[in-house]
Amino acid sequence: MGLPPYGEPPVRLRSPARPLNRRLTRSLALGAAMFVMLAALPAAAAWELDPAHSRVAATVVQIAPQGPIPHQHEVRRLTGAAEADGTLRLPLRLAQSDVIERLGPLPPWLSGFTERPMATLTTRFPPERLERLAVGESLVEVLSLSVQTGNTTRSEPLALRFTREAPDRVRVTNAERVALDGQALMADPTLRSVMLLLGYEQIGDEVPVSLDAVLVRR
């Protein structure tokens, strides 16, 4: 084979295999490093309520001819599982309350009524902040609480205290006093029916409530 025109020396062609192999090696190394970094991050835990240790207590003041009479009520065995972003939906059913114990057996036509949610609470808590809590530590978060009763939905801020009691257990309680609007409760057809079943034709303007619940890892 003769010399190229103009007497230029032969051009040696580089094999593409070497740079390709180097790029492939760097990509594999980068991928492995990213995998190690992601594996070192704490995985977001999935949380759910422990029904045996989760309840809401309320004080309803009955307005009677002889004067105001406070009554204590509870909704027990709260159930609900948080989604990946921390959204928690909490249906409150009459069957979970102590109303059934006080009223005794209900007529058959009311049996389906006890399993229908009186209200559904929806909120979102920060699961990543729970992960950073050490055992024995607490944090207070002001969350947006949505309350749905019938066709009505209202939202209000709610301050909750999260206390990590164990690696897989977090207790949730009120961080400040919370009271529901008694007149708004009586205006809701479902809740008014419950009040009338208890004999409360009129109640006070405020219904203080307290939450004592436990979140556990799924």
Q: What is the pLDDT of residue 72?
A: 93
pLDDT tens, residue by residue, 16-72 = 445 444 443 443 343 333 333 333 333 445 889 999 999 999 999 999 999 999 999
State yes or no: pLDDT of 215 exceeds 80.
yes
Residue 43, CA distances (Å) to 6, 16, 59 in order: 67, 42, 40
Same domain for 82 and 184?
Answer: yes
Spatial separation of the C-alpha atoms in residues 141 and 124, rounded to whole Å: 10
CATH number at residue 109: 2.40.128.110
pLDDT tens, residue by residue, 62-118 = 999 999 999 999 999 999 888 888 888 888 888 888 887 777 777 676 667 777 777
Same domain for 169 and 64?
Answer: yes
- Tell me the chain's radius of gyration from C-alpha atoms: 30
Same domain for 124 and 155?
Answer: yes
Spatial separation of the C-alpha atoms in residues 102 and 177, rounded to whole Å: 27
Closest alpha carbon to 126 in 205, 45, 194: 45
Range of the structural domain that residue 73 is part of:
47-217
Same domain for 108 and 189?
Answer: yes
Same domain for 104 and 131?
Answer: yes
Q: Can you tell me which residue has the tokens 């009677």?
A: 64
Q: What is the pLDDT of residue 110?
A: 66
Spatial separation of the C-alpha atoms in residues 143 and 140, rounded to whole Å: 9
The strand pairing partners of 73, in sequence order, are 58
Domain count, the chain: 2
Is the pTM higher than 0.85? The answer reads no
